């Protein structure tokens, strides 16, 4: 029987508004530092510890002093402890004279069939400045997903309302078109990965909602470049380009 809302994950800032990593990340970072500090205090302050009374540092998962390096798990076991814990709070950002936004540029190549006016997107490049990129693999996938949605917005998606009844007339995937695999070109995504330390020590800003912004505009500009036609009504269907 599935239980809704049952999770072992702790309460955290919600995954929305492109704020999850930028908000939870610094707190995790601080708590990790505090836990390492607590570990090193245990190492030097516990009688019987191989590091008792000495000078220690933490390197690559190991507690290190002159001539001795021990993985932290081994140290905890030797002190008969199951774990070391710490709590930390990341401070609220109080910078008043700066706004924090992620920025980027979309470059889109599109081809428009000269007779049918069908538009196909053939190449895409996106360069983003979102501060520190914590996970390059998933960050790239997130931006790609946004661009795919932008291609849908620009060329395919059209929700039609029956004004007499207020109901949607094309509420199914056969009539409301979302991009399929063959609609999507190869994508080249780059991040500057430049830490925004004014925001937090982690330096990560947001990319959750980033990818779709400006994607449809890039496509519309490419269509204008190809056809000379400026269409400001999405989706850019062949009918709108056939004059």
Partner 1 sequence: MELSRHGYADAPVGEAAQDALVFTVNGREERLRVDPRVTLLDALRERLGLTGTKKGCDRGQCGACTVHVDGRRVLACLTLAVAVRGRSVTTIEGVCGHPVQRAFVECDGFQCGFCTPGQIMSAVAVVEDGRARTDEEIREAMSGNICRCGAYPNIVDAVQTAMNQDERDRSGVRVVRDAAV
Binding residues vs partner 1 (CB under 8 A): 122-123, 137-138, 140-142, 144-149, 172-174, 178-182, 184-188
Strands 68-71 and 103-112: unpaired
Question: How many CB atoms are closer than 10 A to CB 187?
Answer: 16
d(CA 17, CA 44): 43
State which residue, 25 or 179, has the beta carbon closest to partner 1.
179
State which residue, 203 or 211, has the beta carbon closest to partner 1.
211
Least spacing, CB of residue 201 vs partner 1, in Å: 27
Tokens 């704020």: give the residue.
19
Tokens 């706004």: give the residue.
99
Annotated active-site positions, please? 209
Q: Nearest CA to 182 among 156, 160, 209?
A: 156
Q: How far apart are the first and last CA of the chain?
A: 58
Least spacing, CB of residue 238 vs partner 1, in Å: 19
Least spacing, CB of residue 150 vs partner 1, in Å: 9
State which residue, 46 or 170, has the beta carbon closest to partner 1.
170
Least spacing, CB of residue 137 vs partner 1, in Å: 5
Tokens 């607590």: give the residue.
38
State which residue, 87 or 135, has the beta carbon closest to partner 1.
135
H-type alpha helices, the chain: 20-45, 72-78, 136-155, 215-227, 238-241
Q: Which two tokens stand for residue 73?
A: 């798990």
State which residue, 111 or 240, has the beta carbon closest to partner 1.
111
CA atoms within 13 A on the CB side of 4: 0
Least spacing, CB of residue 156 vs partner 1, in Å: 12
Cis peptide before 82 (omega within 30 of 0): no
Strands 187-191 and 119-129: parallel
């Amino acid at each position: 029987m599935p239980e809704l809302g049952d999770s072992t994950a702790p309460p955290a800032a919600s995954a929305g508004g492109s704020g999850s990593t930028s908000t939870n990340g610094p707190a995790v970072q601080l708590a990790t530092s505090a836990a390492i500090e607590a570990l090193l205090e245990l190492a030097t302050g516990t009688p019987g510890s191989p590091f008792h009374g000495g000078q220690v540092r933490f390197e690559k998962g190991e507690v290190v002093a002159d001539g001795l390096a021990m993985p932290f798990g081994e140290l905890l076991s030797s002190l008969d402890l199951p774990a070391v814990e710490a709590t930390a709070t990341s401070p609220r950002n109080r910078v008043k004279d700066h706004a924090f936004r992620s920025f980027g540029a979309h470059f889109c190549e599109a081809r428009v069939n000269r007779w049918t006016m069908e538009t196909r997107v053939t190449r895409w490049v996106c360069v983003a400045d979102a501060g520190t990129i914590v996970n390059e693999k998933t960050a790239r996938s997130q931006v790609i997903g946004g661009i795919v949605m932008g291609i849908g917005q620009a060329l395919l998606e059209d929700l039609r309302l029956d004004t007499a009844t207020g109901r949607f007339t094309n509420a199914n995937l056969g009539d409301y078109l979302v991009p399929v695999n063959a609609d999507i070109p190869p994508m080249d995504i780059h991040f500057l990965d430049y830490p925004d330390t004014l925001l937090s020590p982690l330096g990560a800003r947001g990319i959750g909602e980033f990818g779709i912004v400006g994607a449809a505009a890039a496509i519309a500009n490419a269509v204008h470049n190809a056809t000379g036609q400026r269409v400001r009504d999405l989706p850019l269907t062949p009918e709108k380009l056939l004059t």
